[in-house]
Structure 1
Amino acid sequence: MSQRDFAASLRWWRQRKGHSQLELAGRADISQRHLSFLELGRAAPSRDMVIRLAAALDVPLRQQNALLVAAGFAPVWRQTDLAAPELAQVRHALDFILAQQEPFPAVVVDRHWNLLLANAGAVRLVEFLVGPLAPDTAVNLADALVAPGVLRPYLTNWTEVAGYFVRSVEADAASDGTNATAELLKRLLAYDGVEAALTAPPPTSGPVLPMLFRKGDVRLQLFTTIATLGTPQDVTLQELRIESFFPMDEATAQIFRGWSKAGAAKAAQS
């Protein structure tokens, strides 16, 4: 990497975030002249300066590492496998959150909606809708939601849900600037009906946008919340999302409770 790589990357991030040189200089507590020299490649940043500018631009940790490499420094933020021993306490916390959500579904996904963990409630919902998955099947929830043949046939308000979801992926692509997120967005946009979903008028009723599933005579009304870990110092942890599903009516709640009791009874008999 050369000094020009960092200069171009810094300028790209500043423009992507919509800051003028004066605004970014103020946020980073440096002179606009010094920032201009950095963007032109006429001055070389220190490692601390790279981190300061990245923080001022709210650049994700993965891309902060890329900026450091572009400036000639080693990455400072680790990317640890979720199963690694040093993340054991975080994993325990995630397992606790998933267990507390029972009998309702909850999942843990990465930045690109690849499924990492799921509770029994989530497994029961998927098995009801599409049948059991083979062990170790890789699942991408973005594809499962947007593609024609997985959840879409059972999601009666797919147009509204898919439009909202794809717009959130557009925001992710604008925020993180990675090829992987851009490729995910491109893949989702290529699915039949997505462009029309993005231009459909947004729903105006209700406090939240529900997910309305129907299979046979069973109707499920769910809304979701998404949580992240606070103050992450690891790329993997910063990119985790915990999505929890809640019933919007008592009928849906009773269905999930019934599935849970049936599963417990079956386990006790085996």
Structure 2
Amino acid sequence: MGELLRDWRRRRRLTQLDLADLAQISTRHVSFIETGRSLPSRAMLLRLADRLDVPLRERNQLMTAAGLAPMYSERSLDHPALHEAYAAIELVLYGHEPHPALAVDRHWNLIAHNRAVAPLLAGVPDFLLARPANVLRASLHPEGLATRIVNPGEWRAHILHRLRHQIDTTGDPVLQALYEELAAYPALEEYDETELPSSLHVAVPFRLRSELGELAFISTTTVFGTPMDVTLSEVAIESFFPADAATAQAMRAFGASLAPDDPAQGRMRDGH
């Protein structure tokens, strides 16, 4: 447990003194916990994990390593206890139409999406959409969306930067393996990651050639604010908004073609 705690402290670039100040305990106490000379109570371990912003899954690992029972449940999204939470996810996805929105898990595997995602995925081979379909892999794979992305260098740099940040935050080896896989894909366009986006951008745009024409989106990420379940804490909803007037018009026209009485038509649940 002490080794795990020390790893999280270093990952957050904090000294023992920094953590002691944040947790309002002595530096000696932090040192004793990290070296195994002192075993913290559940309350103390939760306080330290909170100050270090340790994800719920890894908080459970700390508890187990300290000989304590895990604090947070982990249920599948189809569990009755998470029914209302999943209903909220679907409400956000469907309510975002005619614009694309999708829900992903901790490793960027697709959980569900609304009908406006379908035009974006047209032409993506089945092996990239087979469960569990990974949206980052489908985006950057040379047989996926990569050849249809108008700004492939910029978008690739954005994805890899975001993934590196997530790895730094969580220390997840699965994300590290995903990063190495994506980084090994051939770059379709040279791009200096130190370059600043154009001053015309308010965010890094996702530009794609599609059956609806050339589309440009900016995205937002939504997470549950106070999750107490591991699975729920790792769900993120990616919502795409038109980045220009042409995209807004194209998506409005697409939305007009959708059947208003069948919100589930075209929606995909990936294993939940």
TM-score, length-scaled by structure 2: 0.88
Alignment correspondent of 2:71 = 76
Alignment correspondent of 1:3 = none
Does 1:118 pair with 2:113? yes
1:262 CA drift (Å): 3.0
Residue 176 of structure 1 is aligned with which of 156, 170, 179? 170
Contact residue 167 and residue 198 of structure 1 kept, 8 A = no
Describe the superposition over 1:112-157 as per-residue Cα deviations: whole angstroms up to 9, x where unpaired. Answer: 1100010011123323x53889996431111011211111111010
Contact residue 159 and residue 200 of structure 1 kept, 8 A = no
Identity of matched residues, %: 37
CA distance in 2, matches of 1:136, 1:145: 14
Partner letter of residue 116 of structure 1? Answer: I
Residue 59 of structure 2 is aligned with which of 60, 64, 80? 64
Contact residue 160 and residue 202 of structure 1 kept, 8 A = no
For residue 264 of structure 1, give the secondary structure of its aligned residue in structure 2.
coil
1:201 CA drift (Å): 2.4
Describe the superposition over 1:39-84 as per-residue Cα deviations: whole angstroms up to 9, x where unpaired. Answer: 1111112222211111111100011111111111121111111111
Residue 148 of structure 1 is aligned with which of 118, 142, 146? 142
Partner letter of residue 247 of structure 1? Answer: P
Contact residue 138 and residue 144 of structure 2 kept, 8 A = yes
Which structure has the higher relative contact order (CA within 8 Å, separation 6+)?
2
Question: Which is worse superposed, 99-108 or 174-183?
Answer: 174-183
Alignment correspondent of 2:185 = 191
Contact residue 160 and residue 200 of structure 1 kept, 8 A = no
Kindly tell me: are residues 197 and 78 of structure 1, through their superposed partners in 2, closer, same or farther at Cα, counting changes over 3 Å? farther
Kindly tell me: are residues 110 and 160 of structure 1, through their superposed partners in 2, closer, same or farther at Cα, counting changes over 3 Å? same
Name the one with the larger helix percent.
1
Kindly tell me: are residues 58 and 135 of structure 1, through their superposed partners in 2, closer, same or farther at Cα, counting changes over 3 Å? closer
Alignment correspondent of 1:208 = 203
Mark the runs of 5 or more structure 2 residues left unpaired by the alignment: 263-272
Does 1:243 pair with 2:238? yes
Contact residue 223 and residue 248 of structure 1 kept, 8 A = yes
For residue 138 of structure 2, give the secondary structure of its aligned residue in structure 1.
helix
1:166 CA drift (Å): 0.8
Contact residue 163 and residue 194 of structure 1 kept, 8 A = no
CA distance in 1, matches of 2:25, 2:188: 44
Contact residue 126 and residue 132 of structure 1 kept, 8 A = no
Alignment correspondent of 2:154 = 160
CA distance in 2, matches of 1:70, 1:198: 43
Kindly tell me: are residues 228 and 194 of structure 1, through their superposed partners in 2, closer, same or farther at Cα, counting changes over 3 Å? farther
Alignment correspondent of 1:257 = 252
Does 1:14 pair with 2:23? no
Corresponding pairs, count = 260
CA distance in 2, matches of 1:248, 1:135: 26
Partner letter of residue 225 of structure 1? Answer: T
CA distance in 2, matches of 1:171, 1:194: 23
For residue 78 of structure 2, give the secondary structure of its aligned residue in structure 1.
coil
CA distance in 2, matches of 1:78, 1:180: 21
Residue 218 of structure 1 is aligned with which of 204, 213, 216? 213
TM-score, length-scaled by structure 1: 0.88
Contact residue 145 and residue 152 of structure 1 kept, 8 A = yes
Contact residue 110 and residue 135 of structure 2 kept, 8 A = yes
| Cα root mean square deviation, aligned | 2.4
For residue 106 of structure 2, give the secondary structure of its aligned residue in structure 1.
coil
Kindly tell me: are residues 37 and 195 of structure 1, through their superposed partners in 2, closer, same or farther at Cα, counting changes over 3 Å? farther
4+ aligned runs moved over 4 Å, structure 1: 131-137, 194-198
